[in-house]
A and B are shown apart, each in its own frame.
Chain A
């Protein structure tokens, strides 16, 4: 695709993106909601989106399905007052809808499997009904214009201008970073074109390519994105990505996962915790002196085989001194 056509397509999408932004008032309600208020909070939305990503990844869906699902979810939550207990149903139906228009028929996971793996309590018919509601309310016809759309376009544009560098700007990496940002509701307010550009620039900075940054600037001018807005989102993206890339492992909240095992395994699980009935017999240092049979005799033959078979050197505390001399001398 040549550069001119790409730029035209960029323009077209830029004009359409406002249609797919979630209502800001709705988002603000969610962000300001209290945990105990019986409403959906920012935390619960973020956790749900993380679950969606787990499912996407597990079933091998593409990033596009995930991004589409999040777009549907945010728009729906910003428009309708949803009770927290229905949140999982809403999110799963968004994923199912998104997957249906994105994935090939053969790769589509059936609804019952989706519900089972997601450890949800509702039925397949519940899911179907919710899908209809979501599709109706959002007037769902085709794929939304999202940050991924722009990311892919930006990537292609960059490629056409710098063919010799095509290995270094990885679309997969950008997609993973976009996914990390989408897991936070604060980025739902950003215009997709701006968010994508901020991500692009961040990556270009990290690989230290001034030529590419030039191209990014070119795109910014073409779309007339104000500097202040871009700067604001760039800072937030930078912070989010530094959290994402930190090598520190966080403690997973695995308590909410159900660990179901078969009956036989469950029976075996705690059968070993038997409390010993015999009281402890403390070993005394006087044992050996009173004994008729010296303790050293017990394992007198082939002591070095202990060390050699397990790869330790002969210096350890295992090797009684008098025997060590005997065997090393031999």
Chain B
């Protein structure tokens, strides 16, 4: 196999150059991912299997000029032409061939989109073959091993000029009024679908966008594949959650699932409820939750709207997986809880209000101001307020102490204002309950202060006792020595000797004296 020429390693390489807007620069320097994108080496491309014997493409007559009898044959030939792959990493190679293929693809797209009677049976296998050959490839490993989907620019697919047309063709093919699912299902089989799903891991968002729409149509029209598709999506998600934590297409797959969940028949099948509990809720634990959280939350809320009995599972699940150290995720979770509460049924609310509001109280006392703010803002939601009002007797005691304490301690003034709003709201709801809680809170505080004082007194007493003891011991030791010395010198013992008289009554040191010396005596 001949080696492919490396592209000129200049920053202005046409395949990879793009001007770096100033917003992408950190401290005036382009981000790391930008710099690395300049030089793409061919061995990291999925198109490395470069055909050595390159087929020369000869331009065929235009479809619109073809007589009806030859139309389908020409169509087939063009499809076959488009099965030839080109290397886009080398931007100067085979320009003629690339253009021929591009024009052919364009024609095919136009033809399928506009003409009727084009899609006859023999074309189906050819079309699917062309599509398979072009799109099914092993995705290259990421250029940037530390690719952060939120921060970094994705690596775009080099052969997009052709690939985009192939996807467009596929989409029009599926959406054509002449499309026959019964015919297509022979060629769009489980193997095909599995490969299609694997492509969702592409880093190129444009590709994923097409795949999303295409899979959506496939699911809609090929009923026989639905269960298989659902199963494979489950597998992808489970692998993502528990094994790799890497998959670029979670958001797109969730969007498709959203439209599927929306269409669930009632009563909900057990399979679907299990999917919710075993896959959707654990998805919340992913580190890259922010990429797909909007779609995930939508799916969760759709489930609730279909069948209110799953509410308890959802909320308990979220509480179980509540983020403990990532405040960005906590804010997302709070947003999701608000969306859930917006559609919750009052009878379900009662079942989860206690654990939920305990968690909300914990969020209010979070030192991160965004978490506290988001939690407090729930009280600005009219429907949630009406739920709280109905269950004021249960909820107010859960949050009261936290609100009061945080209002005195929090560093952020906005939070203090919001707490005032919440307290005032509660006061207006039920002033007697509020007064009772205030009174008992004050009593608790008094008890606590009393306990603190007693504790401090106890320690002080112990320290004083310690001091007295030390002093007694040192006095006693000194006396002992004196007696010994006198004994040696032969002096008579004098009971009125000032030293011994003193040692009989050890004076208590005044409290508050340093206790540094005291410790050593014990």
Contact: B227 with A284, CB < 8 Å?
Answer: no
Q: Is B71 an interface residue (CB 8 A)?
A: no
Query: Which residues of chain B from 308 to 323 have a CB within 8 Å of any chain A CB?
Result: 313, 316-317
Q: Is B264 an interface residue (CB 8 A)?
A: yes
- Determine the distance from Cα of A252 to Cα of B389 in the docked complex, in whole angstroms: 9
Q: Is A257 an interface residue (CB 8 A)?
A: yes
Q: Is A292 an interface residue (CB 8 A)?
A: yes
- Determine the distance from Cα of A261 to Cα of B236 in the docked complex, in whole angstroms: 39
Contact: A278 with B255, CB < 8 Å?
Answer: yes
- The 8 Å CB contact of A264, one of B275, B294, B370, is B370
Query: Which residues of chain A from 21 to 71 have a CB within 8 Å of any chain B CB?
Result: 50-51, 53-54, 57-58, 60
> Most A CB atoms within 10 A — which of B223, B256, B374?
B223
Chain B residues near A269: list those with CB within 8 A: 335, 377
A175 to chain B, nearest CB (A): 9
A250 to chain B, nearest CB (A): 6
Q: Is B179 an interface residue (CB 8 A)?
A: no
Chain A residues near B225: list those with CB within 8 A: 291-292
Q: Is B425 an interface residue (CB 8 A)?
A: yes
Contact: A288 with B425, CB < 8 Å?
Answer: no
Q: Which of A140-148, A206-214, A224-232, A313-321 contacts B (4 or more CB under 8 A)?
A: A313-321
Query: Which residues of chain B from 355 to 413 have a CB within 8 Å of any chain A CB?
Result: 369-370, 373-374, 377, 379-380, 385-386, 389-390, 392-393, 407-408, 413
- The 8 Å CB contact of A306, one of B260, B278, B374, B425, is B278
Assess A281 versus B216: contact at CB under 8 Å? Given A54-B427, A58-B423, A318-B274.
yes
Contact: A245 with B432, CB < 8 Å?
Answer: yes
Q: Is A244 an interface residue (CB 8 A)?
A: yes
Q: Is B267 an interface residue (CB 8 A)?
A: yes
Contact: A287 with B227, CB < 8 Å?
Answer: yes
B254 to chain A, nearest CB (A): 10
- The 8 Å CB contact of B424, one of A54, A280, A281, A297, is A54
Contact: A259 with B190, CB < 8 Å?
Answer: no
Q: Is A272 an interface residue (CB 8 A)?
A: yes
Chain A residues near B190: list those with CB within 8 A: 292-293
- Determine the distance from Cα of A251 to Cα of B389 in the docked complex, in whole angstroms: 7
Q: Is A105 an interface residue (CB 8 A)?
A: no
The majority secondary structure among interface residues of chain A is: loop
Q: Is B117 an interface residue (CB 8 A)?
A: no
Contact: B298 with A257, CB < 8 Å?
Answer: no
B424 to chain A, nearest CB (A): 5
Q: Is B273 an interface residue (CB 8 A)?
A: yes
Contact: B224 with A265, CB < 8 Å?
Answer: no
Contact: A319 with B270, CB < 8 Å?
Answer: yes
Chain B: CB-nearest residue to A58: B420
Chain B residues near A294: list those with CB within 8 A: 227
- Determine the distance from Cα of A293 to Cα of B225 in the docked complex, in whole angstroms: 8
Query: Which residues of chain B from 408 to 446 have a CB within 8 Å of any chain A CB?
Result: 408, 413-414, 416-418, 420-421, 423-433, 435, 438-439
Q: Is A290 an interface residue (CB 8 A)?
A: yes
Task: Give the interface residue-count category, chain A.
Answer: 35 or more
Q: Is A279 an interface residue (CB 8 A)?
A: yes
B100 to chain A, nearest CB (A): 35
Q: Is B97 an interface residue (CB 8 A)?
A: no
A153 to chain B, nearest CB (A): 21
- The 8 Å CB contact of B369, one of A262, A268, A281, A291, is A262
Q: Is B262 an interface residue (CB 8 A)?
A: yes
Contact: B228 with A291, CB < 8 Å?
Answer: yes
Assess A265 versus B370: contact at CB under 8 Å? Given A54-B423, A58-B407, A252-B425.
yes
Contact: A293 with B374, CB < 8 Å?
Answer: no
Assess A292 versus B228: contact at CB under 8 Å? Given A176-B435, A281-B259, A286-B223.
yes
Q: Is A310 an interface residue (CB 8 A)?
A: yes
B512 to chain A, nearest CB (A): 24
Chain B residues near A325: list those with CB within 8 A: none
Q: Is A329 an interface residue (CB 8 A)?
A: no
Contact: A288 with B227, CB < 8 Å?
Answer: yes
Q: Is A19 an interface residue (CB 8 A)?
A: no
Chain B residues near A80: list those with CB within 8 A: none
Assess A250 versus B429: contact at CB under 8 Å? Given A176-B435, A262-B373.
yes
Contact: B259 with A279, CB < 8 Å?
Answer: yes
Query: Which residues of chain B from 269 to 310 have a CB within 8 Å of any chain A CB?
Result: 269-271, 273-275, 277-278, 293-294, 297-298
Q: Which 8 A-B pairs have the closest CB atoms?
A: A252-B428, A282-B263, A278-B259, A280-B262, A291-B227, A176-B435, A249-B392, A259-B380
Q: What are some 16 contacts across the A-B interface (CB < 8 A)?
A: A116-B413, A244-B431, A247-B433, A249-B390, A251-B386, A252-B428, A252-B429, A254-B380, A259-B377, A262-B414, A268-B374, A274-B294, A276-B255, A277-B255, A281-B263, A292-B227
Q: Residues of B with Cβ closer than 8 Å to A? A: 190, 212-213, 216, 219-220, 223-228, 230-231, 234, 255-256, 258-260, 262-265, 267, 269-271, 273-275, 277-278, 293-294, 297-298, 313, 316-317, 331, 335-336, 339, 369-370, 373-374, 377, 379-380, 385-386, 389-390, 392-393, 407-408, 413-414, 416-418, 420-421, 423-433, 435, 438-439
